[in-house]
Amino acid sequence: MQHLTILVPDGQSKLSSIICTYKVFIKANAYWKEIHGKDLFQIQLAGISKEVAFYEGLFTVKPHTDIAAIGRTDLIIVSALNNHNYEESLRLNKPMTDWIARQYKLGAEVATMCTGTFLLASSGLLDGKHCSTHWAAAETFRSMFPNVKLQTDLLITDENGIYTNGGAFSFLNLILYLIEKYYDRQTAIYCSKIFQIEMDRNSQSPYVIFTGQKQHGDEMVQQAQSYIESNLQEKISIEYLADKFAVGRRNFDRRFIKATGNTPVEYSQRVKIESAKKALETSRKTINEVMYEVGYSDVKAFREVFRKITGMSPIEYKGKYNKEAVV
């Protein structure tokens, strides 16, 4: 029998991700046992404290065991963190991240949910690898872990026995992904139907709200960002921006990428598409009207950029998020 460890970090983590993971895997085990006559996993909640409080003490979790009592495990699942003081969470859970790193070296696979990725990244196991996390935490994550290849458009990443996923309740999709991988497709479909979780979602792009990456100290780049955001209808060339701020084109690109994680062109596209999304969500404007408002004149180009950023066409997006609009 394999061993599954669901971690309960100290401090504030997401109670929902712990409970749901436990419930869905218990159900998968029961279904597997009906067919094969035995459980696939021994499932344990483990932590570094005997009791962890959630939501100002309204709920508490008492892990089955301490991580120190687990010599070997096959799969580790790290719940999402529930606060924005990530440095404090990492300090509180240093013994846990060290334990994760040791277990990974012994052959365990590791899955993190949403902002649980911060814990895994602090162990060094994600250096040079791809991962995802909640899009709202992306800027903070990049500043704390510059050696990790963050891809918030992906709902799930799977690399060298390490799994990560996007934000909030998308952890349910990671659970199904792991169940299909460890049990089989039939068990994953069964759990999908029992818990009514959509199968095979692979992107969180439609849910991203782009607010711009402003947590940096480069004043020139901040001014360039403000100019881009204030001139959505304009087709602004990068050469024009570089000249406007008296910086060479190559240096302008380098500073912009270092500060924001995007090229100037990518940043301009994301700002324009975010404005287009809001218009499609809240107005009865046609696709063409919205396209012109954000500085595009070529329908094909607008559609391609929109799909690249959101994973959907403008018409699909409008149909999904604006129920009163007539497309």
pLDDT in tens, 125-147: 999 999 999 988 988 999 999 99
**Is residue 51 classed as helix, strand or coil in its secondary structure?**
coil
Which two structure tokens, joined as six digits, stand for 153?
Answer: 């458009």
3-class SS at 134? coil
pLDDT tier at 327 (50, 70, 90 boundaries)? very low
Residue 235 dihedral angles phi and psi, to the nearest 5° = -95, 95
Say what the pTM is: 0.69
* pLDDT at residue 211 greater than cutoff 90: no
CA diameter of the chain: 72
Spell out the CATH class of 219-321: mainly alpha
Domain edges within the chain: 2-205, 219-321
Work out the mean pLDDT of the chain and round it to a whole number. Answer: 91
DSSP 205: G
Q: What is the average per-residue pLDDT within 244-259? A: 92
Under CATH, to which class is 2-205 assigned?
alpha beta
Q: Given a cut of 80, is residue 202 above it in pLDDT?
A: no
Going 49 to 53 to 54 to 59, the CA torsion angle's sign is positive
Q: Which of 11, 68, 10 is nearest to 44 (CA)?
A: 68
pLDDT of residue 326: 47
**For 179-194, what is the mean pLDDT?**
93
- Interhelix angle 314-321/264-282, rounded to 10 degrees, is 40
